[in-house]
Amino acid sequence: MKTTLASPIEQLGIVGAGQMGAGIAQVAAVAGFDVLLTDIDDAGLERALESIVHDLDRLLEKGDLNQDEVAAALKRITTSTHLKEHSRCDLVIESAIEDCDIKRGILQQLDNVCSAGVVLATNTSSLSIARLASATGRPDRVIGMHFMLPVPRMQLIEIVCGMETSTETRDLSVDLAGRLGKTPVECRDFPGFVSNRLLIPMINEAVFAVYEGVASIEAVDQIMQLGMNHPMGPLRLADLIGLDTCVTVMRMLHDGMGDPKYRPCPLLVKMVEAGRLGRKSGRGFYDYPSG
Ligand SMILES: NC(=O)c1ccc[n+]([C@@H]2O[C@H](COP(=O)([O-])OP(=O)(O)OC[C@H]3O[C@@H](n4cnc5c(N)ncnc54)[C@H](O)[C@@H]3O)[C@@H](O)[C@H]2O)c1
């Protein structure tokens, strides 16, 4: 049976209040959506609200928003640890940790509580949309909306249709991206989509260059910044993304494509084993003293 999509979207749900979920909530609230942000962790919700307040204050200082706009945006955000409250949402974006079983579980629960026409989007950066969608009874209304970090400053949303995603769902997500002030670009449901298929192997190759003694860490970064006009060198970027995340994506590309060219560099793997995860652990290719 064909179900009409819920429209127009006014109440937006977001599951997962990490750095991505918080960023999406902020952008949506500034764009005028009522936002329900949920997480399993109360402390995580508090951290998300703190980071949103902090970022909105910076936009206020810069003159990008005025006091009334900041106050109105904050008023539009509500938080909860109860996933079932998404029953009132017109569209829900799942942005919990990158774990297939956890994401499938969340989508299954959302499928049970949300109205039939509601689209369930996922912000996965590497998992198959088709596999996630198959956890629900509405695979035609499941789609990938892959935001970039930091969400308030990055223009792109990769729109990824799974095997069963309907054209109506695609159109609705493209329209939503525009209402969020972002630019949607579509690609197909293959490992790493386009962004991570290109970005993470480039980072991996930069690590190989250091591993093989071709150049120092600083030299690799300088060459890409000054020679290719990259705003940040690949190794500094790896520290920002998290070296563990880089290894996970390389392994996913390696498994998904079965091509040895995607093998993670042994140096990258070793650094993760040693707990050097980049900025979040205080040490990666560079040192990040606390504060
Ligand atoms: N970090 C990036 O650069 C980036 C970029 C694009 C997309 N993504 C994707 O966005 C998603 C979130 O990434 P992040 O960087 O915000 O991660 P994060 O670790 O900062 O946050 C994940 C959040 O999910 C919550 N969570 C865990 N299990 C949950 C559950 N069962 N129900 C509800 N919440 C749960 C955690 O408490 C945490 O607050 C991932 O799928 C990731 O791949 C990340």
Looking at per-residue confidence, does 99 or 90 come out higher?
90
- Token output for 64: 């990008």
C-alpha to C-alpha distances, 49 to 25, 43, 58, 88, nearest whole angstrom: 9, 10, 14, 21
pLDDT tens, 183-235? 999 999 999 999 999 999 999 999 999 999 999 999 999 999 999 999 999 99
The predicted pLDDT at position 126 comes to 86
Please state, for a pLDDT cut of 70, what percent of the chain lies above it: 97
Closest CA to 250 of 210, 196, 207, 212: 196
Looking at per-residue confidence, does 39 or 248 come out higher?
39
Check pocket membership of 46 for ligand 1, CB cut-off 6 A: no
Residue 125 designated active-site: yes
Mean pLDDT of the region 72-100: 97
At 3, the pLDDT band (50, 70, 90 cuts) reads: low
The predicted pLDDT at position 1 comes to 43
Closest CA to 160 of 180, 172, 146, 140: 146
Pocket test for ligand 1, best of 97, 131, 232 (most atoms within 8 A of CB): 97
Check pocket membership of 127 for ligand 1, CB cut-off 6 A: no
Residue 158 designated active-site: yes
Pocket test for ligand 1, best of 26, 36, 95, 194 (most atoms within 8 A of CB): 95
Mean pLDDT of the region 145-159: 96
Residue 196 designated active-site: yes
Catalytic residue of the set 51, 95, 158, 204: 158
How far is it, in rounded angstroms, from Cα 218 to Cα 234?
A: 10
Q: pTM here?
A: 0.92
Residue 66 designated active-site: no
Does 253 have pLDDT greater than 90?
yes
Does 96 have pLDDT greater than 60?
yes
Domains of the chain and CATH, by start? 11-188 (3.40.50.720), 196-279 (1.10.1040.10)
Residue whose CA lies nearest to ligand 1 atom number 26:
96
Does 5 have pLDDT greater than 80?
no
Check pocket membership of 241 for ligand 1, CB cut-off 6 A: yes
Can you name the residues that pair with 79 across neighbouring β-strands? 37
Mean pLDDT of the region 63-87: 98
Does 115 have pLDDT greater than 90?
yes
The predicted pLDDT at position 280 comes to 87
The predicted pLDDT at position 6 comes to 57
**What separation in Å is there between the alpha carbon of 17 and the centre of ligand 1?**
7
The predicted pLDDT at position 138 comes to 98
The residue written with tokens 């994506």 in the block is 249
Does 273 have pLDDT greater than 80?
yes
The predicted pLDDT at position 7 comes to 59
SS3 letters across the chain: CCCCCCCCCCEEEEECCCHHHHHHHHHHHHCCCEEEEECCCHHHHHHHHHHHHHHHHHHHHHCCCCHHHHHHHHHCEEEECCHHHHHHCCEEEECCCCCHHHHHHHHHHHHHHCCCCCEEEECCCCCCHHHHHCCCCCHHHEEEEEECCCCCCCCEEEEEECCCCCHHHHHHHHHHHHHCCCEEEEEECCCCCCHHHHHHHHHHHHHHHHHCCCCCHHHHHHHHHHHHCCCCCHHHHHHHHCHHHHHHHHHHHHHHHCCHHHCCCHHHHHHHHCCCCEHHHCECCCECCCC
- Token output for 186: 């579509």
Check pocket membership of 41 for ligand 1, CB cut-off 6 A: yes
Does 156 have pLDDT greater than 80?
yes
